[in-house]
């Protein structure tokens, strides 16, 4: 029989949040697949685990994945952990979970901390229904599209962001959603310098433009509270003419057409080049 893959949630920062069940699992498994082995060594020491520590992250090769699957196929148990919180939530661990499921390997969750729930719980913004978008793309049409998703969402939206990019994210959100939209920024959750700051997107953007930000950041943006009304997409030809008249490059016009009208990128390029 194959071993079991345990998906183990670990503390966001405070080791006291490691559950007894999670600690016991880390002690019992043969190996632990970790996003950053240097970061995870103190956690395993805290749990009293002597399991083999295997590096598994977003840039791991197929060889690393196969190594873990071989351990499982030999009947030995493996725990999957991330640097903080619950694995496979905006995390490369989803690749291992999917591969194990395809092979019929038993998968068991050991639930616990997650920055999504932790930030929502202290935000004061409704968490009855919410949309989680993780890390937005850094630039381009995909970023613009998701910013507009946040702006038009009826429900609360939760985002992750790196500390050095928070200022830009808040400025972009203020532009897309309007400066008065309510939001909350949480950072260093469960750690000594935990901070949760609430305000309008404009207020938060101005504050963090001047503040030094450290630690992973979670941003909670209030929804519109109104059901989104689907509008008919604009006519591609007329929209292309208008954008070209504004002086946009053909490449940018094609990207915008793909985003706004839903036509394929190739069709957008053909249309722009024909005008």
Q: Could you tell me where in the chain the CATH 3.30.950.10 domains are found? A: 116-221
pLDDT score of 174 = 97
Handedness of CA 133, 139, 145, 151 (dihedral sign): positive
Distance CA 273, CA 153 (A): 34
Model confidence over 225-269: pLDDT tens digits?
988 766 677 888 998 899 888 888 888 888 888 888 888 888 888
Model confidence over 36-47: pLDDT tens digits?
999 999 999 999
- Helix, strand, or coil here: 267? helix
Residue 209 burial (CB count, 10 A): 12
pLDDT score of 274 = 87
- Helix, strand, or coil here: 158? strand
Beta strands in the chain (DSSP E): 5-8, 31-34, 52-55, 78-81, 107-110, 130-135, 156-161, 182-187, 195-200, 217-221
CATH of segment(s) 5-113: 3.40.1010.10
Distance CA 82, CA 89 (A): 9
Give whole-number Cα distances, 12 to 44, 118, 191, 256, in Å: 15, 9, 8, 39
The DSSP bridge partners found for residue 132 are 158
User: 164-198: b or e for each residue (b if 16 or more CB lie within 10 Å)?
Assistant: eebbebbbbbbebbeeebbbbbbbbbbeeebebeb
pLDDT score of 227 = 80
Per-residue pLDDT of the chain (275 residues; tens, 9 = 90+): 899 999 999 999 999 999 999 999 999 999 999 999 999 999 999 999 999 999 999 999 999 999 999 999 999 999 999 999 999 999 999 999 999 999 999 999 999 999 999 999 999 999 999 999 999 999 988 999 999 999 999 999 999 999 999 999 999 999 999 999 999 999 999 999 999 999 999 999 999 999 889 888 999 999 999 887 666 778 889 988 998 888 888 888 888 888 888 888 888 889 888 88
Provide the pairing of β-strand 182-187 with 217-221.
Answer: antiparallel
> What radius of gyration do the chain's Cα atoms show?
22
Q: Could you tell me where in the chain the CATH 3.40.1010.10 domains are found? A: 5-113
- Architecture in CATH of 116-221: 2-Layer Sandwich (3.30)
pLDDT score of 233 = 79
């Amino acid at each position: 029989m194959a071993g079991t893959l345990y998906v183990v949630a670990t503390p966001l920062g405070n080791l006291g949040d490691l559950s007894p069940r999670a600690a016991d699992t880390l002690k019992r498994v043969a190996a632990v697949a970790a996003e950053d082995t240097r970061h995870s060594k103190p956690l395993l020491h805290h749990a009293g685990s002597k399991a083999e520590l295997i590096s598994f992250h977003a840039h791991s090769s197929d060889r690393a994945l196969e190594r873990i699957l071989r351990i499982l196929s030999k009947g030995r148990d493996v725990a999957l952990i991330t640097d903080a919180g619950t694995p496979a939530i905006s995390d490369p661990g989803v690749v291992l979970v999917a591969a194990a499921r395809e092979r019929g390997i038993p998968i068991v969750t050991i639930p616990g901390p997650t920055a999504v729930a932790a930030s929502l719980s202290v935000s004061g913004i409704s968490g009855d229904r919410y949309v989680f978008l993780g890390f937005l793309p850094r630039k381009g049409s995909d970023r613009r599209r998701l910013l507009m998703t946040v702006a038009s969402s009826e429900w609360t939206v939760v985002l992750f962001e790196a500390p050095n990019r928070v200022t830009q994210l808040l400025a972009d959100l203020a532009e897309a959603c309007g400066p008065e939209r309510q939001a909350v920024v949480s950072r260093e959750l469960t750690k000594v310098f935990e901070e949760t700051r609430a305000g309008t997107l404009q207020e938060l953007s101005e504050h963090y433009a001047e503040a030094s930000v450290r630690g992973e950041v979670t941003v909670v943006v209030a929804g519109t509270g109104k059901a989104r009304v689907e509008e008919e997409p604009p006519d591609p030809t007329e929209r292309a003419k208008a954008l070209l008249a504004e002086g946009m490059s053909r490449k940018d016009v094609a990207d915008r057409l793909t985003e706004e009208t839903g036509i394929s990128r190739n069709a957008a390029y053909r249309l722009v080049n024909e005008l």
